[in-house]
Amino acid sequence: MGSAHLAAILLCVCIIAGGAIADSQNGTNGVPRPAEVRIGALFTFDSVIGRAVKPAIELAVADVNADPTVLPGTKLSLLMQDTNCSGFVGTIEALQLLAKDVIAVLGPQSSAIAHIISHAVNKLQVPLISFAASDPTLSSLEYPYFVRATQSDYYQMSAVASIISQYQWREVIAIYVDDDYGRGGITALGDALAKKMSKIAYKAKLPPGAGRTAIQDMLMQVNEMESRVYVVHVNPDSGMTVFSAAKSLGMMSSGYVWIATDWLSSVIDSSGHVDSDATENTQGVITLRQHVADSGIQQSLLPKLNNLTRKENRSSFSSYTAHAYDSVWLVAHAVEQFLSAGNAISFSVNQNLQAIKGSSLQLDSLRVLNNGDKLLEKVLQANFTGVSGQVQFTLDRNLIHPAYDILNIGGTGFRTIGYWSNFSGLSVAAPENLHSVPLNSTTNDIQLHDVIWPGQTAEKPRGWVFPYHGKLLRIGVPLRTSYNEFVMQDDGPDGVKGFSVDVFKSAISLLPYPVGCTFVLFGDGLKNPSYSDLVQKVSENYFDAAIGDISIVTNRTRLVDFTQPYTESGLIIVAPARETESNAWAFLKPFTFQMWCVLGLLFLFVGTVVWILEHRTNTEFRGTPRQQIMTVCWLVYVLHNISVFQRVQAFLLSDI
């Protein structure tokens, strides 16, 4: 009866305290503090996230009111509206909430409603603090009053892209629900993958609330494609249907990779106990969960939450619970500072709406929060430690330290295989331990823990297959009329046989995956075809490849890539042998007459130089001029014999 009791009390407070009450409580600067401030909450009660956050918000309001240090003398009162999973109802409900003079709105849960309501709160100057809308485009400058008290999918998709690049997959198929949430997320995924040199091969969109038949049709379609890596970004309330349909189509078996964004972990977390259906259909799936640092605060909160939820069989703790609880405190701290700064809470008539006369909708009740910009400023300046960790905003209005747990579902639960954080990328160490130490590049390349993939296999799936209805490779085969041992026409199933065909088939069979190919004969069978034309056809993509006794010549290597040669060409140069008359002076042939003259002159020159240097000191170089000339000649002769002639000889021999 706990929450019913509490809700009843809150309701009474609302009824008694209707209107903006300015009691005689005094704040600083003599501005009286109100006895009550109202905040609104906007989510779908009967949804996975709604069930997880409702007790948390109620508990947080009770905790704020019980805490004497924040908002002393002022009570926070909570008005909740059910958006009922519908953009239309949700928008009307949101406007009704705004008409009740709330100073801040928690929610909405859905990104689609957030887009519409953001326009309204911009004009009414009421901060919209969403604990669940994760569409990255909501961070745009167009929506200054939208504050995201959860992580943007921009970061989640960076995490998904990091996982994909870690396992070296190049193409993925995105399965998503085609609304603001799905589109925004998948666009961010495309950008994140592009940075990692990967891409989305196909975007399979589902209408919001798609039935099982539509999902099955879509899955059968993507099953025929090449990529086997699927990223599933859908709503928690209908997402499990994707996996049960995939299971029935045999797509949860080995070879497939399934990565689900944090919707899946919120389904599993919120089911409280291990749901046999959920884990049975998702064996081997990788999913993400917003990282919530394990702190003492969280532990002390759990018993209180369980006390609230036990009677109504509601959820257990999930990251949405933590963010919802913290966003109430975020508002409480901001309002405290807003009031301390001497601002009063007051509303004024919206001039724009005044102009719309004669509407039967009671638009006058939508009033502008005076100094709402100052309240927004206080919200964005928040700096406190909440259940989900440090609550603080960066300059681009995102929560600091975005981080995700990476979970692998297996058996009757899941294992944490690693973490991703904006600061350190993928790691096996919890991100809060990494924030404190300076980034160490040697610890940065740690792999994730081992994953059990679908089909209970530990081997990393290749991530792609040859599509069932894909094009076969066209292999060009020359239709020779002579020397057809290499390739020849055949009546067998392939239509060709021969040595080249055998080599090709053996090579193909060594590949770890099947390759479909068909052999296409080239040539008219009357004369040998032009191999240059065959190569040309490969480079023109008429053939995907060609086999045969094709010589590797320069011209052809400019057009196509050749394999290693697998047979000796057997080509040799045959030159006619000419009879040349031979005589005794044939040894003079290597050099011309002039060359012999130069050699002779060099001979004498070297001898003269040696004589000039030696004859003054060396007694061997003395004597009669005839003796001296003899000595020089001998010396030069010996020197040349040893060195020059040997070198000339070597040169002549080597260059033949």
Ligand X SMILES: *[C@@H]1O[C@H](CO)[C@@H](O)[C@H](O)[C@H]1NC(C)=O
Which residues of the chain form contacts with ligand X (CB under 6 A)?
2, 25-26, 73, 82, 84, 89, 303-304, 307, 313, 383, 394, 398, 400, 402, 422, 438, 440, 442-443, 555
Tokens of 444: 């940065």
Residue type, 332: A
Does residue 381 contact residue 147 with C-beta atoms inside 8 Å? Answer: no
Distance in Å, CB of 40 to ligand X, minimum? 17
- Give Cβ neighbours of residue 623 (< 8 Å, ≥ 6 apart): 631
| Residue 7 bridge partners (DSSP) | none
Name the residue nearer to ligand X (CB basis): 410 or 425.
425
The distance of closest approach from Cβ of residue 338 to ligand X in the complex, given in angstroms and rounded to an integer, is 17
Give the residue with the Cβ less far from ligand X, 316 or 628.
316
Q: Which residue, 89 or 610, is less far from ligand X as judged by CB?
A: 89
Minimum separation from the CB atom of position 368 to ligand X (A): 28
Nearer to ligand X, 394 or 456 (CB): 394
Q: Which is nearer to ligand X, 443 or 649 (CB)?
A: 443
Q: Nearest Cα to 321, choosing from 337, 338, 304?
A: 304
Considering the complex, what minimum distance in angstroms separates the CB of residue 371 from ligand X? 22
CB 515, CB 508: distance < 8 Å: yes
Residues whose CB falls within 8 Å of the CB of residue 309, separated by 6 or more in sequence, listed in order: 55, 315, 316
The crossing angle, in degrees rounded to 10, of helices 319-340 and 296-309 is 110
Shortest approach of ligand X to residue 324 CB, angstroms? 19
* Closest CB 339 distance from ligand X, rounded Å: 12
Q: How buried is 578 (Cβ within 10 angstroms: 0-12 exposed, 13-18 middle, 19+ buried)?
A: exposed
- 10 Å CB burial of residue 105 (0-12, 13-18, 19+) is buried
**Nearest CB to ligand X, comparing residues 81 and 631:** 81
The answer to whether residues 263 and 239 touch, using CB atoms and an 8 Å cutoff, is yes
- Toward ligand X, which CB reaches closer, 63 or 226? 63
Angle between helix 111-124 and helix 180-195 axes, rounded to 10 deg: 100
Helix then strand then coil, % of the chain, to nearest 5: 45, 20, 40
Query: The tokens 């389904």 sit on which residue?
Result: 267
3-state secondary structure of 334: helix
CB of 350 to ligand X, least distance (A): 27
Between 83 and 118, name the residue whose CB sits nearer to ligand X: 83
Nearer to ligand X, 518 or 530 (CB): 530
Helix-helix angle 262-270:236-248, to 10 degrees: 100
**In the complex, least distance from residue 313 CB atom to ligand X, rounded to whole angstroms:** 4
One-letter amino acid for residue 252 of the chain: M
SS3 182: helix
Q: How far is the CB of 389 from ligand X (least distance, A)?
A: 12
Q: How many CA atoms lie within 13 A of 347 on its CB side?
A: 22
The one-letter amino acid code at 136 reads P
Distance CA(105)–CA(324), nearest Å, equals 12
**Which of 397/497 has CB closer to ligand X?**
397
Burial string for 305-344 (b: 16+ CB within 10 Å, else e) reads beebbeeeebbebbbbbbbbbbbbbbbbbbbbbbbebebb
CB of 322 to ligand X, least distance (A): 17
CA distance 581 to 585: 11
CB of 580 to ligand X, least distance (A): 31
**Closer residue to ligand X (CB): 436 or 594:** 436
In the complex, least distance from residue 28 CB atom to ligand X, rounded to whole angstroms: 9
Which of residues 291 and 640 has its CB atom nearest to ligand X in the complex?
Answer: 291
**Residue 37, beta-bridge partner list:** 76
Q: Which is nearer to ligand X, 439 or 599 (CB)?
A: 439
> Whole-angstrom Cα distance, residue 629 to residue 646?
24
Nearer to ligand X, 431 or 607 (CB): 431
Cβ 239 to ligand X shortest distance, Å: 17
Rounded to the nearest angstrom, the gap between the alpha carbon of residue 433 and the centroid of all alpha carbons in its chain is 24
Tokens of 40: 């609104």
Q: Please, what is the minimum distance in Å from the beta carbon of residue 98 to ligand X?
A: 18
Q: Does the CA dihedral 134-137-140-146 come out positive or negative?
A: negative
* Cβ pair 107, 47 in contact under 8 A: no
